[in-house]
Amino acid sequence: MLIKDTNFIDLPVFIKGKVRDVYKVGEDKLLMIATDRISAFDVVFDDLIPDKGRVLNGISEFWFDFCKDIIGNHLITTDVTEYPMGLSKFKEELQGRSMLVKKVEMIEVECIVRGYLEGSGLKDYKATGKISGIKLPEGLKQADKLPEPIFTPSTKAKEGHDINVSFEYVKEQIGEELASAIKEKSISLYKKAEEYALSKGIILADTKFEFGILDGELVIADEMFTPDSSRFWELSDYEPGRPQKSFDKQYLREYLESLDWDKTPPAPRLPKEVIEKTRAKYIEAYERLTGKKFIP
Ligand SMILES: Nc1ncnc2c1ncn2[C@@H]1O[C@H](COP(=O)(O)OP(=O)(O)OP(=O)(O)O)[C@@H](O)[C@H]1O
Ligand SMILES: [Mg+2]
């Protein structure tokens, strides 16, 4: 079943993002639903990618479990039959693409870890030799592996792109102890996942986490190491000094670049072939990372 919107859910909306719809379940829980929507260049498309929501949700679920020795998380269950508030009647729509989570007090810092030089990190490095105030060796090329993974936090802008901030700034905002804790956890999580992904032939170039506080404890919330929150590259195609192909949106981006489209809404319709190849890439990411067969 393809899911574009989730208006059939009769609960208060917590937030509707580009890809996920989140509902309030009572006072202390949230229902997170990954739709089959896709975005590129920050524009959401009319066309859907079949199974994408289930892939994204499944990848997050895998990592929450894989990393639970480092940190606890917000997940309660992904089994729709255990959902409260009559939600279990939407088993067909929700199973596999949703999770019931504990609502936590979010820490307003986007915890970015970079193991490779790309994106806004590359831009900063080229301009200043540093990223978020961290001095890096001279002469690094685009997509080079950094000597050590670095923590380069940002804050969510109300509008437009996130703003990179220094670790000092984070300390001032949330206190030294908590700032150090999220930095240390972020780097440990990245190292563990990067090493594992490499063993599956995938480079996890960088990623973003969101932490929260639950009953006084630091936990990981939101999503974890999905193609939406991370850069995945194909190891066998890796070559520093040029842009790497994005694992999931490579065909989509290449197709869009071939069009005369200015990357502002409305988005163009997508040909069947682009949809199919994009879908296959998502499924491949799921299968290689989780070691499980994806069952459509
Ligand atoms: N357990 C949780 N408790 C409370 N809030 C959470 C929890 N997990 C995630 N969130 C918040 O829920 C929201 C999820 O929104 P979502 O990521 O779908 O949209 P977005 O970040 O606004 O847009 P985008 O589509 O660009 O990601 C985020 O604001 C996130 O901080
Ligand atoms: Mg988000």
Q: Which of 114, 107, 109, 191 is nearest to 152 (CA)?
A: 114
Average pLDDT over residues 117-142: 96
Architecture of domain 106-237: 2-Layer Sandwich (3.30)
* pLDDT cut 90: percent of the chain above it: 94
The pLDDT tens digits of the residues spanning 166-182 come to 999 999 999 999 999 99
Residue 11 C-alpha to ligand 1 middle, in angstroms?
Answer: 17
Pairwise CA distance, residues 197 & 288, whole Å: 8
Closest ligand 1 atom, residue 74 Cα: 1
Same fold, 1-103 and 106-237: no
Residue 162 is predicted with a pLDDT of 83
Closest ligand 1 atom, residue 18 Cα: 25
The answer to whether the CB of 74 is under 6 A from ligand 1 is yes
Pairwise CA distance, residues 110 & 118, whole Å: 17
Please tell me the CATH superfamily of domain 1-103, with its number: Phosphorylase Kinase; domain 1 (3.30.200.20)
The pLDDT tens digits of the residues spanning 32-89 come to 999 999 999 999 999 999 999 999 999 999 999 999 999 999 999 999 999 999 999 9
Q: Where are the domains of the chain?
A: 1-103, 106-237
Q: Name the 3-class secondary structure at 37.
A: coil
Alpha carbon separation from 287 to 69, 79, 89, 291 (Å, rounded) = 23, 20, 28, 5
Identify the residue whose C-alpha is closest to ligand 1 atom 22.
17
The pLDDT tens digits of the residues spanning 170-215 come to 999 999 999 999 999 999 999 999 999 999 999 999 999 999 999 9
Identify the residue whose C-alpha is closest to ligand 1 atom 1.
103
- pTM for the model stands at 0.96
The pLDDT tens digits of the residues spanning 247-286 come to 889 889 999 999 999 999 999 999 999 999 999 999 999 9
Q: What is the mean pLDDT of the chain?
A: 96
Residue 157 is predicted with a pLDDT of 77
Residue 159 is predicted with a pLDDT of 73
